[in-house]
Amino acid sequence: MNMLVDGEWRTDAYETTSDDGSFERQETTFRDRIRDDPDAEFQPEAGRYHLYVSYACPWAHRTLVTRALKGLEDAISVSVVDPYRDEDGWQFPPGKEGCTRDHVHDADYLRELYVRADPDVTARVTVPVLWDTETDTIVNNESKEIMRMLDTEFDSVASRDVDLYPEGYQEEVDRIIEEIYEPVNNGVYRAGFATDQGPYDEAVDDLFSALDHWDDVLADQRYLAGDRLTEADIAMFTTLVRFDNVYHTHFMCNVQFIREYENLWPYLRDLYQTPGVAETVNMDHIKEHYYTTHPDVNPHRIVARGPDPAFDAPHDRDELPGAPPSGLEAASADD
């Protein structure tokens, strides 16, 4: 796999699987924080920060959903990379549908921004990236932390009064995000990139055990943490929305489709139909990326044609206690 080593691009720099054939995800590199504090180095300001994302990537997708729900589209600009990632890494293709140029530095490759932030950086070049145009550097490239910052530190410049980490729910939200990460969010990758039967079987067992558990939880509550839409739902959504189109087939997570679950399937449709969310989903980018970028998994790079889940179908989840945040509903009515 490819990464930067001491600021130089290497195409053979690290392995994604351990000696026993299990998938290992490396830690992200830039971990500074934006804080709504006059003494903070990075303070929330409209127009100061820029997001680099891929519509294909579930981790980057978390930040796009949060940005949309909070109404930060005017405050935080975005550049979108090509869903196809070759040996040169994420790039900004001229004129490709759904992609953009690098609006800050007009770079050809995302790795150029990493080196601009740290000329001697050793890191995987991943999305999302939260860039500070004032100090001309990367603030953070860890999706969970960017999601939390957009949610909790940008109220002063947000156009929607939406709180996805509300008082009284925070401990539960943190617990759920941690609980679903390894078996679900990372679990699909553990299955798809396993190179031995044992690690694959373990990953699939963990994944579907977790999905069965959350299907049961959602039988009598609208959202993962109860009656409030939270960051935990965003973290679950970006995996579930890719599942039937990509993970089920491409990553061999084929024990069951999400659309076959009694509660997870209407829950997914409920989230998709929440104002602002559907616009962040680009299934063409998602499918192109996964089916063409992993030749070890799909050597002929053929993009699977189906399926076509009916994300817009009625879900009846509004019969359960809870509703989308009031600020979100009000903003949607004015749009």
- Three-class secondary structure assignment of 223-249: ECCECECCHHHHHHHHHHHHHHHHHHH
Rounded Cα–Cα distance for residues 162 and 317 (Å): 20
pLDDT in tens, 247-271: 999 999 999 999 999 999 999 999 9
CA dihedral 102, 104, 106, 111 (to 10 degrees): -70
Q: What is the rounded average pLDDT for all residues in the chain?
A: 94
pLDDT in tens, 40-70: 999 999 999 999 999 999 999 999 999 999 9
pLDDT in tens, 9-38: 999 876 566 667 666 666 778 999 999 999
Q: Name the residue among 218, 217, 214, 232 with its Cα closest to residue 166.
A: 232
* Single pTM value for the model: 0.94
Q: Name the residue among 107, 96, 151, 158 with its Cα closest to residue 131.
A: 107
Count the neighbouring beta carbons within 10 Å of the beta carbon of residue 44: 23
| Model pLDDT, residue 23 | 64
3-state SS assignment for residue 54: coil
Rounded Cα–Cα distance for residues 258 and 328 (Å): 26
| 219 phi and psi angles, rounded to 5 deg | -65, -35
* 198 in Cβ contact with 257 (< 8 Å): no
Residue 182's Cβ-count burial label (10 Å; 0-12, 13-18, 19+) is: middle
pLDDT in tens, 146-167: 999 999 999 999 999 999 999 9
| 260 phi and psi angles, rounded to 5 deg | -95, -5
The conformation of residue 26, written as its DSSP 8-state character, comes to P
Query: If you compute the radius of gyration of the chain from its CA atoms, what whole number of angstroms results?
Result: 19
Amino acid at 272: Y
Count the neighbouring beta carbons within 10 Å of the beta carbon of residue 171: 9
The conformation of residue 318, written as its DSSP 8-state character, comes to G
Q: Is 189 known to be catalytic?
A: yes
List 49, 52, 57, 200, catalytic entry: 57
Rounded Cα–Cα distance for residues 266 and 314 (Å): 8
How many helices (DSSP H) and strands (DSSP E) are in the chain? 11, 6
List 49, 84, 114, 189, catalytic entry: 189
- What 8-16 contacts at long range (C-beta under 8 Å, 24+ apart), as own/partner pairs, is 9/88, 9/89, 9/111, 11/87, 14/124, 16/193
| 8 phi and psi angles, rounded to 5 deg | -105, 140
pLDDT band, residue 333 (cuts 50/70/90): very low
pLDDT band, residue 130 (cuts 50/70/90): very high
pLDDT in tens, 287-307: 999 999 999 899 999 999 999
- pLDDT of 119 strictly over 80: yes
Q: Can you tell me the mean pLDDT for 241-246?
A: 98
Annotated binding site for glutathione: 90, 124-127, 142-143
3-state SS assignment for residue 323: strand
Amino acid at 308: D
pLDDT band, residue 325 (cuts 50/70/90): confident
